[in-house]
C-alpha cells in the first residue's frame, strides 16, 4: 500500500518532494540495523574476553593453564592474566591438607584370621602440575596403594601383634605411601588405623581370656594380701613374744634380785639375832604344813635333819614340864610320843 493511500497520510495529498524525503529516511534506518547488531556482538565478545583474561585464584589453591592442549604454567593465588580463547584453565588444585577416610578392608593375618581395618590418610598436594599429569586420580591411587601395603604388613603379623602394634603399622604405611606418592606431587603426612575389628568368635574368645586374666590377677592380689597380712601378723606375734620374753626375763631377774636381797636380809638378821637350835626347830615345823599343801603333793620327802629338830623340840618341851607340874610332865611325854609317832612313817 502506498503512503498516499494509507490512513496516516494527510488528506490534502503529498507533494513529490515530501515523498522522496520519506523514502530516503526509510532506507537509512534499514542500513543501521546490521551495524547495531555487530556492535552488540562486539561488546559481548569483549566482556567474555575480559572474563576469560582475568583469573582470580583463591588462597591455598593453584590452577593449571594449557595453551592449545599443552601445559603452559601454574597460576598461584591472587589475580592472574591469561590470553583469552587461547589459554584455558584445566584444573584447580586445593593445596591444603586433606583428610580421607577409607572404608574397612578385609586383611588376613599371619595366623589366618580375617580382620577388617579402617584407615585414615592425611595428605597434601605439594606440586599441582605433577598431581594433574602424573596420575589420573591420586585419591583412588592412594586408596589402592594403602590397601595393598596394609595387606603386606598385616600378613607378616599375628592377631595379637596386630592389635598391639598400631604405631609400627602406621609408621610402615606412611613410609611406603610417602615414597610412592612423592612423584605424584603429594606428601602423606600421617596414616592412622581407625579401627581393627577381628571376627566375632575371636572377640568372644578374647573377652573370655581377658575375664580369666582379670580373675587370675584378682586371685593373685588377694593371695598376696592374705600372705602379707599373715606375715605381718606373724611378725607382730614374734615381736610381741620377744618383748614378752624380755619382760619376763627382766621381771624374773628383778624377782630373783629381790628374793636374793630378802634372803640376804633374813640371813643377816638371823645371824645378827643369834637364834638357838630350839627356835630353828620350831620354825622348821611351822613350814611343814605349807610343804604339804596342794592336791598334787601325794608324796613329800622329809630331810634327815628333822629327827634332830624334833629331839631338840622335845627337849625344850621337857624343860617346860617341871615348870608346869606333873600334868605338864605327863603332857610332855605324850607330846614326845606323838611327835615320834608322826616322825616314824617318813623314816621308813
Residue that is written with C-alpha cell 598334787 in the block: 296
Distance, in Å, from the CA atom of 338 to the CA atom of 98, rounded to the nearest integer, reads: 129
Percent of the chain topping pLDDT 70 = 69
Comparing 34-43, 106-115, 206-215, 337-346, which segment has the lowest mean pLDDT?
Answer: 337-346
Distance, in Å, from the CA atom of 6 to the CA atom of 13, rounded to the nearest integer, reads: 11
The one-character DSSP state at 58 is P
What is the CA 314 to chain-centroid distance, rounded? 98
Q: Which of 210, 205, 144 is nearest to 177 (CA)?
A: 144
Average pLDDT over residues 2-17: 50
* Residue 144: all three cell numbers together: 589402592
The one-character DSSP state at 21 is H
The count of other CB atoms within 10 Å of the CB of residue 275 is 12
Model pTM?
0.51
Distance, in Å, from the CA atom of 25 to the CA atom of 206, rounded to the nearest integer, reads: 101
Q: Is the pLDDT of residue 77 over 70?
A: yes
* Residue 209: all three cell numbers together: 581370656
Distance, in Å, from the CA atom of 312 to the CA atom of 331, rounded to the nearest integer, reads: 17
Q: Which of 67, 49, 119, 60 is nearest to 92 (CA)?
A: 60
Q: What are phi and psi of 110, to 5 degrees?
A: -65, -30
So what's the pLDDT on residue 316? 55
Distance, in Å, from the CA atom of 188 to the CA atom of 181, rounded to the nearest integer, reads: 8
* Residue 139: all three cell numbers together: 585419591
Angstrom distances, CA of residue 307 to CA of 22, 233, 285, 293, 303: 195, 59, 11, 22, 8
Average pLDDT over residues 178-182: 88
So what's the pLDDT on residue 337? 40
Q: Which of 142, 140, 141 is nearest to 188 (CA)?
A: 142
Q: Tell me the per-residue pLDDT of 189-224, one tens digit each, with 9 for 90 and over.
A: 988 888 888 888 877 877 888 888 888 888 899 898
- Is 74 in contact with 128 (CB distance < 8 Å)? yes
Comparing 16-25, 75-84, 116-125, 227-236, which segment has the lowest mean pLDDT?
Answer: 16-25
Q: Tell me the per-residue pLDDT of 254-300, one tens digit each, with 9 for 90 and over.
A: 888 888 888 788 777 777 766 666 666 666 666 667 666 656 555 55
What is the CA 113 to chain-centroid distance, rounded? 28
The count of other CB atoms within 10 Å of the CB of residue 306 is 16
Give the pLDDT band of residue 236 (cuts 50, 70, 90): confident
Residue that is written with C-alpha cell 605411601 in the block: 177
CATH of 96-198, one of 1.20.140.10, 3.30.479.30, 3.40.190.10, 3.40.50.920: 3.30.479.30
Q: Kindly report the CA angle at 182 between 177 and 183, in degrees rounded to 5?
A: 125
Residue that is written with C-alpha cell 645371824 in the block: 271
Distance, in Å, from the CA atom of 155 to the CA atom of 112, rounded to the nearest integer, reads: 9
Q: What is the mean pLDDT of the chain?
A: 77
Angstrom distances, CA of residue 71 to CA of 60, 76, 183: 21, 15, 18
So what's the pLDDT on residue 126? 92
Q: Is the pLDDT of residue 327 over 50?
A: no
* Residue 187: all three cell numbers together: 606428601
Amino acid at each position: 500500500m502506498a503512503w498516499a493511500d494509507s490512513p496516516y497520510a494527510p488528506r490534502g495529498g503529498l507533494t513529490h518532494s515530501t515523498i522522496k524525503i520519506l523514502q530516503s529516511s526509510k532506507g537509512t534506518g534499514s542500513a543501521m540495523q546490521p551495524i547495531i547488531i555487530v556492535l552488540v556482538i562486539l561488546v559481548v565478545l569483549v566482556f567474555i574476553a575480559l572474563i576469560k583474561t582475568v583469573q582470580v585464584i583463591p588462597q591455598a589453591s593453584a590452577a593449571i593453564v594449557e595453551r592449545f592442549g599443552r601445559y603452559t604454567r601454574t597460576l598461584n593465588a591472587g589475580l592472574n592474566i591469561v590470553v583469552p580463547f587461547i589459554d584455558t584453565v584445566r584444573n584447580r588444585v586445593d593445596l591444603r591438607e586433606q583428610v580421607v577416610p577409607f572404608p574397612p578392608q578385609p586383611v588376613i593375618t599371619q595366623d589366618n584370621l580375617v580382620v577388617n581395618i579402617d584407615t585414615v590418610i592425611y595428605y597434601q598436594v605439594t606440586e599441582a602440575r605433577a598431581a594433574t599429569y602424573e596420575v589420573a586420580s591420586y585419591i583412588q591411587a592412594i586408596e589402592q596403594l594403602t590397601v595393598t601395603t596394609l595387606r603386606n604388613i598385616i600378613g607378616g603379623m599375628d592377631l595379637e601383634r596386630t592389635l598391639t602394634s598400631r604405631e609400627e603399622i602406621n609408621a610402615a604405611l606412611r613410609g611406603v605411601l610417602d615414597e610412592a606418592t612423592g612423584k605424584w606431587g603429594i606428601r602423606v603426612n600421617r596414616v592412622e588405623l581407625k579401627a581393627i575389628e577381628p571376627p566375632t568368635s575371636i572377640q568372644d574368645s578374647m573377652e573370655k581370656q581377658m575375664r580369666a586374666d582379670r580373675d587370675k590377677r584378682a586371685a593373685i592380689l588377694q593371695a598376696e594380701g592374705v600372705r602379707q597380712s599373715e606375715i605381718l601378723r606373724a611378725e607382730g606375734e614374734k615381736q610381741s613374744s620377744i618383748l614378752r620374753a624380755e619382760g619376763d626375763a627382766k621381771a624374773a631377774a628383778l624377782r630373783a634380785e629381790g628374793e636374793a636381797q630378802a634372803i640376804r636380809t633374813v640371813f643377816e638378821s638371823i645371824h645378827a639375832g643369834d637364834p638357838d637350835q630350839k627356835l630353828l626347830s620350831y620354825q622348821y615345823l611351822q613350814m611343814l604344813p605349807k610343804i604339804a599343801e596342794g592336791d598334787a603333793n601325794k608324796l613329800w620327802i622329809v630331810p634327815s635333819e628333822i629327827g634332830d629338830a624334833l629331839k631338840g623340840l622335845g627337849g625344850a618341851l621337857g624343860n617346860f614340864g617341871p615348870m608346869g607340874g606333873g600334868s605338864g610332865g605327863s603332857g610332855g611325854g605324850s607330846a614326845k610320843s606323838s611327835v615320834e609317832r608322826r616322825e616314824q612313817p617318813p623314816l621308813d
